[in-house]
């Protein structure tokens, strides 16, 4: 069976079905990796701010997830479970190496006049600084909502928090950012 035939064989399956098959079929786990690799990489990158390190952490997250498959009970969504593994690895890497995020996430090239580019860069830097200064309990749900596009329920599942707590923390995070960014209005 060719690679595209294997892909099509698994593409129609849900994540829980793939998890079940992954216990005995490595190609099924490969489909889970394909579906979630960008998301897991992005989660690690937002914490470590180093593309090479984020790539390594994403790979390690999938290795750990594969080892932990027999214990996965499906209480959380697969995406949330993978997010938690990647986030924990990234936080541990930052703490272990005492490398606090300082590098910027690469941007798409801008085609604007220099004054606009400079102002946009300053705004982005100020926003990144404001986000990084938020307490972790406010920053994490806010980043998942605004950057990852996760629903409130997905965030609640990923962080193992009540739904109303997630809503409150996102609201408080937004208020804090609004106050900090007032000069840019």
Asked whether the predicted pLDDT for residue 61 surpasses 80, the reply is yes
CB atoms within 10 A of CB 94: 17
Position 66 scores a pLDDT of 92
DSSP single-letter state for residue 45 = H
CB atoms within 10 A of CB 98: 6
**Angle ∠(99,91,20) on CA atoms, nearest 5:** 145
160 and 127 belong to one structural domain:
yes
Domain boundary among 54, 71, 100: 100
Quick one: residue 108, left, alpha or beta (phi over 0 = left, psi -120 to 50 = alpha)?
Answer: beta
Containing structural domain, residue 155: 114-180
Tokens 């690799």 correspond to 37
What tokens does 42 get?
């992005």
Kindly state whether residue 65 falls inside one of the protein's structural domains.
Answer: yes
pLDDT in tens, 128-185: 778 888 888 988 888 888 877 778 888 888 888 898 998 999 889 888 888 887 876 6
Question: In whole angstroms, what is the distance from residue 49 CA to residue 45 CA?
Answer: 5
CA 106 from centre of chain: 16
Kindly state whether residue 139 falls inside one of the protein's structural domains.
Answer: yes
- Confidence tier at 126 by pLDDT (50, 70, 90): confident
Question: In whole angstroms, what is the distance from residue 141 CA to residue 59 CA?
Answer: 23
Kindly state whether residue 33 falls inside one of the protein's structural domains.
Answer: yes
Contact assessment for residue 184 and residue 177, using Cβ atoms and an 8 Å cutoff: no
């Amino acid at each position: 069976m060719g690679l595209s035939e294997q892909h099509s064989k698994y593409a129609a399956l849900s994540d829980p079905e793939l998890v079940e098959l992954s216990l005995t079929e490595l190609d099924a786990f490969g489909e889970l990796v394909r579906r979630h690799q960008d998301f897991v990489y992005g989660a690690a990158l937002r914490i470590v701010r180093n593309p090479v390190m984020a790539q390594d952490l994403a790979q390690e997250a999938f290795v750990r997830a594969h080892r932990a498959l027999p214990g996965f009970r499906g209480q959380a969504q697969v995406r949330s479970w993978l997010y938690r593994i990647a986030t924990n690895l990234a936080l541990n890497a930052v703490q272990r190496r005492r490398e606090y995020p300082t590098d910027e996430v690469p941007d798409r090239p801008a085609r604007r006049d220099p004054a606009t580019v400079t102002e946009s860069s300053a705004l982005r830097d100020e926003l990144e600084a404001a986000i990084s200064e938020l307490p972790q309990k406010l920053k994490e749900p806010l980043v998942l909502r605004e950057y990852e596009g996760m629903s409130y329920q997905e965030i609640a599942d990923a962080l193992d928090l009540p739904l109303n707590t997630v809503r409150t923390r996102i609201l408080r995070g937004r208020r804090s950012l609004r106050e900090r960014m007032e000069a840019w209005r």
